[in-house]
Amino acid sequence: MKFLISLAFKNLTRYKRRTLITAGAIAFGLMMYIFVDSLLLGIEIESVRNLKWFETASARILNDDYWENRFQRPLDINIPNPDKIINKLEDNGITATKRIEFSGDLILNSADFGEDGNMSVVVTAIDPKRDFDVFEFGTTLQKGRFLEKNEDAAIIGSWFAEDIGAELGYWITIVTRGNGGFYEAMDLEIVGIVNCPNPNVNRTLIMMPIDVADEYLAMEGASTEISIKLPESADVEEEVIHIQNLLNGDGLTVMSWKSMAADYLAIAEAKRGGTGMILFLIFLIAAVGISNTMLMAIFERIRELGMMRSLGMSDKKIRIAFMLEAAGIGLIGSIMGVFLGIIVNFFVVKYGINYGDMYRDMDIGYRVQAIIRGAWNFKTMGIAFFAGIFMSTLVAFFPTKRALKMDIPSCLRHQ
Amino acid sequence: MIIVKDVKRVYQTGETEVHALRGVSLNIEQGEFMSIAGPSGSGKTTLLNLIGCIDQMDGGDISIKNEQVSKMKKKEKTNFRRENLGFIFQTYNLIPVLTAYENVAFVLSLLNISEKEVKERTMAILKEVGLEGMENRRPGKLSGGQQQRVAIARALIKNPEIVLADEPTANLDSDTGKEILELMKKMNEKHNTTFIFSTHDKMVMDYANRLVILHDGQIQSDEKR
């Protein structure tokens, strides 16, 4: 065995350039694998975070009948006494805030926007005092200021502001139907523009103070939802059951972010399958490269192989010798690949890649906007390292087997 | 020691059958220094390959040291070659990445021999073939004659009773060829090793103490000297 290892190592140095080129191909494949995996993991982590931070919160309390009617955003299917529930949750160490979500028509006035127009929108009325405890809009302000209580003001997403040509100080009119069906129009001054990392929110966001909405919509203190923040380490499903028990029925349902984002999670899972195929193809390309190199290496040494067989070296040992050589190439490629992967990953994790222009007008499902950062995944690096060695060894098996099928005199005559 | 009985070998070249050997019979005794000669295509390499258990015959029988090698399975033939036969090739067939020492020691690494013994035997045989001080040179740094000496050392290191050499001097100039033949003859006399070599070189034939001439796959003459 010692001789076989020594022979394999020496053969690696026999064609240095070829060894390096093949190892380079493996290294590139593994680096791409680590890079793509890091980016996908980063996107998923950031997507989930942005989903919870800006869209669903960790969990949400809703009227039992609200979820199935959620697209109509009915104001009459509400939580009549949200403050009481929030206090109860607070007594149990749970942070929560109430919100009213309603749909309406946004009227744009030519005085501010240059021309008249209207569009359907969804407005979220928030408690300016408590909302930042649950959601993370605190760091997203791009222009102006945040909302204060009891003012006819609105904050909008920066992409939405760009789309409608809005600036600070512009007035918008929301026409909607209040609780009970009456028509109501509310004029709101844009006091702040936020750049929300969740593109779905940044594209559509209009927020106003909840007390003002309560008055316009005749909600009489009711809200359409109570959003809850749970610690990152918490088992969300367990907490949901715990909160549900605290509510004692009351015609209310607690939903985890996973239930609310079931569609997104299903799409993400499907995408993971698709990207698995891409990763497989990267490996396949590297495998073809190694296979070709090993094929050339073996067929160039057919006479040597014939000599070894003549002298009584068993086919098994010859196969081991060539596979050890291939494993050596795999080892060099894996070391280079993981090293390059770590370097590339460092930059992807620290600085990320700016896809802002691409994602601006495109919804790809993921809740990430502009800069996409990778994530460290040492398991993937370990898999890449061993897969590189294993794959190289495996692909050497077949050309060796083929060469060993030749009879010895033919091997010795081989030019 | 070696009994070749009515051996036939037919190659299929496309639609054509080529009869390389048409019923060759020979008895070879221990310690012979035998040359198989004949023009190209006469069947000398085929006969050598069959005696060397690296080719499959289409008829007849070969026994070596009372073992019927023609009936052996592939694995048994491999073991038999490893333990009993030495080979010398026209193009030396040394492993270019290994030194002269490693090329010779390689044969012993296939047998279960201690490292110490491998070293002692390898150094001794290299000295015997006149390569002392060149152990660490790779084939690329050796002349043709020196490379063939390494090949002879490789063939003899395991003390085989039979060494088969296919045109061992064909790639060498006449002076070096003569040196190699003298070395082989010396080894033949010293170790009583049976040497069977193919050639079509008159000088090589003159060294043999038995000359078998093949023509069209049949023995034309068999002369003991």
Q: Taking all residues of chain A, what is their mean pLDDT, rounded to a whole number?
A: 87
pLDDT at residue A32 above 90? no
A372 pLDDT higher than 80: no
- Contact B82/A311, CB-based, under 8 Å? yes
Residue of B nearest to A9 (CA): B97
Q: Length of chain A, please? A: 415
Which carries the bigger pLDDT value, residue A98 or residue A249? A98
Chain B interface with A: residues with Cβ < 8 Å? 45-46, 49, 52, 54-56, 75, 78-83, 85, 87, 89, 91, 93, 95-98, 102, 105-107, 109-110, 154
For range B3-25, the mean pLDDT: 90
A14 touching B, CB under 8 A?
yes
- Does B213 or A16 have the greater pLDDT score? B213
Average pLDDT over residues A57-72: 91
Q: What is the pLDDT of residue B182?
A: 85
Q: What is the structure's pLDDT at A300?
A: 83
ipTM: 0.89
Percent share of chain A, pLDDT over 90: 36
Interface test with A, best of B40, B55, B93 (most A CBs within 10 A): B93
| Residue B57 burial (CB count, 10 A) | 22
Mean pLDDT, range B7-30, rounded to an integer: 90
pLDDT at residue B89 is higher than 80:
yes
**Which helix H or strand E contains A387, and what residues bound it?**
helix A378-405
Give the mean pLDDT of B79-103.
90
What's the token pair of residue A393?
Answer: 């060894």
C-beta atoms of A311 and B87 within 8 A: yes
- Distance CA(A68)–CA(A105), nearest Å, equals 23
At residue A363 the predicted structure's pLDDT band, cuts being 50, 70 and 90, is low
| pLDDT beyond 70 at B122 | yes
CA B29 – CA B209 distance, rounded (Å): 12
Packing angle, helices A82-91 and A236-247, rounded to 10 = 120
**Average pLDDT of the residues of chain B:** 89
> For residue range A179-214, what is the model confidence (pLDDT) as tens digits?
988 999 999 999 999 988 888 888 899 999 999 999
Whether A247 shows a pLDDT value over 70: the answer reads yes
pLDDT of residue A367: 64
Given a cut of 70, whether residue A357 has pLDDT beyond it is no
Out of B52, B96, B110, the one facing A14 most closely (by C-beta) is: B96
Assign A292 a pLDDT band (cuts: 50, 70, 90).
confident
- pLDDT for A220: 92
Tell me what pLDDT residue A86 has: 93
CB contact under 8 A, A7 and B97: yes
Q: Does A404 contact B at CB distance below 8 Å?
A: no
pLDDT digits (tens, 9 = 90+) for B145-157: 899 889 888 988 8
Q: In sequence order, what are the beta bridge partners of A372?
A: A353
Band of residue A148 on the pLDDT scale cut at 50, 70, 90:
very high
Chain Cα centroid distance, residue A49: 9
List pLDDT tens digits, range A97-117: 999 999 999 988 887 777 888
pTM of the model: 0.72
Give whole-number Cα distances, A137 to A55, A127, B96, B205, in Å: 11, 12, 70, 99
Contacts of B150 in chain A (CB under 8 A): none
- Could you give the CA distance from residue B129 to residue B148 in angstroms, rounded to a whole number? 10
pLDDT average, residue stretch A267-271: 78
pLDDT over 70, % of chain A: 96
Q: Which residue of chain B comes nearest to A8, CA vs CA?
A: B97
- Highest mean pLDDT of the ranges A18-27, A89-98, A196-205: A89-98
- Name every chain B residue with its beta carbon within 8 A of the beta carbon of A310: 52, 54, 81, 87
Residues of A in contact with B198 (CB under 8 A): none
